[in-house]
Amino acid sequence: MQIQENVFIITGGASGLGAATARMIVENGGKVVLADVQVEAGEKLAGELGGKFVRCDVTSEADGRAVVEAALAMGKLSGLVNCAGVAPAVKTVGKDGPHPLEIFQRTVNINLVGTFNMSRLAADAMSRLDATADGERGVIINTASVAAFDGQIGQAAYASSKAAVAGLTLPMARDLSRNGIRVMTIAPGIFETPMLLGMPQEVQDALGRMVPFPPRLGKPNEYAHLAKTIIENVMLNGETIRLDGAIRMQPK
């Protein structure tokens, strides 16, 4: 799979890991459709990159179809990178009682159902396009988290939703093998996302020191670098890759 001249959808593309991936795609000659609920940031970045922004709730079928249609209008849709997600911190039973069910449901709906929704719609469109010499028609990269394996206190909703994304990887790759579409998942550790960068510097430094090596927060362009490798290496399929500097999260 080549990046140059091909079109890639990036959900959560207005900031963080998604924005870094969008920049990487354009720097390598590709075209991007940014799908996000952050309208101002998304439109600004799309304008900078010469791409297209579509306001998208990833749990909405109508929004997802609009994103895919925008991508097809730009050229050959060859990939989807799912970076949209939420990360609440709520204990199963806290000082105020049980975990609010609506928070758990919203987290699973965005992180898991949203990932599946965008993947199924993009895969359907890619399966109708001409294949490469290897028989490949597209690639889907989903985003899990090390919390899928080392969920901390307060991460019941987040960790379970990301574990489900990791569990989705192999069966989806097997489903789509006949269509020539690969499916991979990246499980980042502690990265410099907007949420983390909003924390005090001393907190950021303390989190970085938890990483064995390199002892710092991951950078969004390092996520994008791995995404590039996945796109270009046709043998990468059906697997979740931890991108975490060898960290194993403690309970809290």
pLDDT tens digits for range 5-47: 999 999 999 999 999 999 999 999 999 999 999 999 999 999 9
- Is residue 143 within 8 A of residue 88, CB to CB? The reply is no
Catalytic residue among 8, 53, 104, 158: 158
Q: Can you tell me whether residue 51 is helix, strand or coil?
A: coil
- Beta strand 138-143 with 181-188 is parallel
Q: Note if 158 is an active site residue.
A: yes
- 168-224 confidence digits (pLDDT tens): 999 999 999 999 999 999 999 999 988 778 777 887 888 888 999 999 999 999 999
Percent of residues, the chain, with pLDDT higher than 70: 100
Helix (H) or strand (E) holding 122: helix 114-126
User: Count H helices, E strands: the chain?
Assistant: 10, 9
Query: Long-range contacts made by residues 130-135, C-beta under 8 angstroms, separation at least 24?
Result: 130/76, 131/180, 132/1, 132/2, 132/180, 134/180, 134/234, 135/180
Confidence at 105, pLDDT banded by 50, 70, 90: very high
